[in-house]
Amino acid sequence: MSVELVQKRNEIEAMLLQQARIAESNYIENVGSAGVNAEKIPYYFKPVITRYLMEQKNVYSMASSELSNVDMMDPMYDEILQAREDVKNKFEVLNSLLDQFQQISKDYPLHVGSFSDANDRTHLKYLADMFSGNYEKFIIEDDQPVFVMEDKNKIPMSSVSKMYNNMFRKAAKENNQFMLIANESYNGALQRGEASWNENMLRDRIYQILNNESGLEGTVDPRAKIERLLSLAYDRINGNPSFVDWLNEDPQRDPNNWVAEGVYDDSWIAQSIKIDPKTVMSGMVQWLLERVSTQWRAGYEIYTSKQNEMKEKVAEQPDPNQETN
């Protein structure tokens, strides 16, 4: 290689090195602000994150220092360069995880009261403990933020988003629809008495609500149907007994009649809903029909009472055709 080419190469390398140093300096200075925003780090695990960031900054600085003493043609150059890139990638991953955690921590208080009891109970507790700081310790393990829970289980921060997004809500909308049917039946009985009762029609309306597979924004989502059935099975929405409560009142109502040694076992319900919900839906139709029927009878009793009062008043009135003395 000629002297001119060597000089030119050295000039280019010197320029690239200078540019790289400036970029490195800016990057290191900004880590913790632009790279990993300190404001998004909750105070209860800030010391652990801060210590990890400082350790990685040192790795980055040492690699940069080594890089300045290694020729670009040296095989070690790429390895050292990759070490720096690894640090950058770790910061980006951590930043993304903290973004997600921060967003979920803002969202969680708005929805925590609406989570169904049919969710994984352990996950319900883990989420509550993580967002309240009620865990044994917070660590960095294999470059991953990890919650060590009171039961010694380790929950990576990377799994929190999935755990939270898998939480489904109570079937409040469907419960309101059933209440509307019950109120309509009550009002119908008040106005038309026995003629207002149409069991086949009511069964069909209830079944259609239970069998609805609509998801978000009108999409078809069989999972949404399963989640609603699970909620109706286990949740006491607006103080109304759940399907399981209804079965526990009289286990003979259970189409599978799962009573072992005098103790009712409702574990089959969740399994059946997830595999083939038809049996559970059949029982739910009967359960909800009883709720509607109770309301209808209350209205019918008032209707009957008013009808009897009217008959008594008519009977007390003198007969206009009767001759007077």
Q: Give the pLDDT band of residue 267 (cuts 50, 70, 90).
A: confident
Decide if pLDDT at 324 tops 70.
no
Question: HSE on the CB side for 307, CA within 13 Å?
Answer: 12
- Pick from 133, 145, 258, 278: which is nearest to 210 by CA? 278
Q: Rounded to the nearest 10 degrees, how much is the dihedral formed by the CA atoms of 62, 63, 66, 71?
A: -170
Find how far residue 180's CA is from the centre of its chain.
26
Contact by Cβ (8 Å): 140, 128:
no
To the nearest whole number, what is the mean pLDDT of the chain? 81
The two three-digit tokens of residue 188, written as one number: 């119908």
Residue 75 has a pLDDT of 75
pLDDT in tens, 275-299: 888 888 999 999 999 999 999 999 9
Residue type at 277?
Answer: P
Residue 307 has a pLDDT of 87
Least confident of 103-112, 168-177, 196-205, 260-269: 260-269
Between 71 and 162, the more confident residue is 162
Report in angstroms the alpha-carbon separations of 54 from 31, 103, 211, 260, 308.
Answer: 9, 25, 55, 60, 86
Decide if pLDDT at 26 tops 50.
no
Least confident of 147-151, 176-180, 250-254: 250-254
Find how far residue 30's CA is from the centre of its chain.
35
Residue 148 phi/psi, 5-degree rounding, is -100, 110
- Pick from 201, 225, 213, 193: which is nearest to 304 by CA? 193
Between 214 and 18, the more confident residue is 214
Q: Give the pLDDT band of residue 161 (cuts 50, 70, 90).
A: very high
Residue type at 324?
Answer: T
